[in-house]
Amino acid sequence: MYCYIVKESSEIPLKSHRTRPRFEKKLLNNIEYALRGEGITDYDIVIKEGVITIKSGNEKIGDVVSNVFGVHRVCKALCGEFHTINDIVARAEEIFKDVVTEKKFAVRVKRAGSHAFTSLDVAAKVGEALLKYSAGVNLSNPDVVVSIEIRDNVAYYILKCWDGVKGLPIGTEGRVLSLFSGGYDSTLASWLAGKRGCEVDFLHFFMGSKEMTMQAFLIAKELTKWLSPYESKMTIIDITPLLSEIRIKVRNDYSQVVLRWYMHYIAQKLSSIHNYDAVITGESVGQASSQTLKNLSVIEESLELSNKKPVIRPLAFMDKEEIIEKIRSLGLYEMTSKVKEVCRLAIGPVTTRAHMKILINEVKKVSKELIDVLLRTRITVSIKDTELNTLSKLLDEFILGVEVSAEEAIKMIKEGAIPIDVRDLRDYEAWHLSNAIHITELNKMLKESLDFNKSYVIYCDYGTLSLAYAKMLRRIGINAFSVKGGINELKKLLRAFTKS
């Protein structure tokens, strides 16, 4: 049976007498949750004066508890009651004589409580008892350190220690939504949010790569070993239609900034819906063109939303080398290095000092209706309870068989598919495909008489809004398809038919 001594983070004792018990109770609960999660149930745990003691014969406890936020240090020890200083010395000699054999050693003693001896008295007597086994004493640079802690009438003979992750216990602060790609930056930002006691959920933007989204999910799953006992969720939003819309409508040098603006806009919308306390990002000042201080400032200032949540950037002033070094120390480098950049939109020079008026004008070129549809098609999964193959099936709904060419669309319509026009009603009234219904008619049909056995071919100006609608309708069981390239491709094809 071992005694594990768990020291709480140095911040916790500094809390007020009203606050500290809440933090310590949360820390105790989180430690027990972590132990149970590893199947460890054979233990006794108590807390006294900021020190948690766990009695157990399980060898895994140090590794598990050291990864709980709020833990400063964990030490594995043999422990026992004593009556006199000689009891301590005799037990220390028995435990440490093989440890110091033919090595230079030093004895360190910590003591709490009222005793007839000092810490130095114990160190001197233990050192004297061990000297005959060793190569001598070296207080400044020993080969081994014999550590003993004395608390009231119990002595702890330290065998091994682990540095904890420190910080504050999960659940002592609020809930945050992390913009999460699974790369170095967003992974570390999420971890740091957890370290400050936040409950972290993830917002991941699907950009066409199932592989990258699956990898991001695996990394989020790995992060939950620190973020428990909060059961983190991941919301996935397919923004491939948004990427297409930006490429088509937004001036090239502002495309990256507009994309980042919409990422923040969507995050703020979700934060408002689910009542998060803040949005977390992995943005680092100057690391990319859209992350210059000027661009970040203009983006945030131009997001004029009610109930806007604060945006927190834990990595704001860290460079890439520092970020990767920390990721390595967490054992996450191999996983995060597999996540590649997939949101590069601009070709050539991009703005690093966006102007407010220009940015707002470019942002307005993107259909807000498109964003609303994207939000309605989001999927949210429990990271703990969702298996990888389940996520894979959900992602297949995003990417399989939704888009068709203009030629395929015309063929499907001739075979009985119903065309749906999702453009502005005035554009629909000016010109539309024969037999096409407007999206407003579909909304009525959904409530009354929609035939779920038929196929529906959806088109818009460029194929972006129609793609979002097709995916949304797929989610409710409608066999919907989007015309790639939109109305222009359809008109070209129809003109060719007319000439022939």
| Residue in this structure with the two tokens 């998060």, named with its chain if needed | 276
CA distances from 10 to 61, 62, 114 (A): 21, 19, 24
Residue 385 is encoded by which pair of tokens?
């309870």
Annotated catalytic residue, options 75, 79, 198, 460: 460
| Residues facing residue 278 across a β-bridge | 176
User: 3-class SS at 442?
Assistant: helix
Residue found under tokens 């194929």: 463
Omega prior to 229 cis, within 30 of 0:
yes
Provide the CB-side half-sphere exposure for 102 (13 A, CA): 0
Question: How many Å apart are CA 438 and CA 423, to the nearest integer?
Answer: 8
* Residues 6+ positions from 303 with CB-CB distance below 8 Å: 261, 264, 265, 268
Please return the burial class of 289, using the count of CB atoms within 10 Å of its CB with bins 0-12, 13-18 and 19+: middle
75 is catalytic: no
Decide the pairing of beta strands 71-81 and 2-8: antiparallel
* The residue type at 204: H
DSSP 8-class letter at 71: E
DSSP H or E segment with residue 137: strand 136-137
Q: How far apart are CA 467 and CA 420, in angstroms?
A: 12
In the sheet that holds 154-163, the strands lie side by side as 43-48, 51-56, 2-8, 71-81, 154-163, 144-151, 104-112, 136-137
CA distance 9 to 173: 15
Q: What is the distance between the alpha carbons of residues 80 and 72, in angstroms, rounded to a whole number?
A: 24
CA-based end-to-end distance of the chain: 89
Give the SS3 label for residue 153. coil
For residue 284, count other CB atoms closer than 10 A to its CB. Answer: 23
> CA-to-CA distance for 97 and 99, rounded, in angstroms?
5
To the nearest 10 degrees (0 to 180), the angle between helices 293-302 and 356-364 is 60
3-state SS class at 168: strand
Active site residues: 460
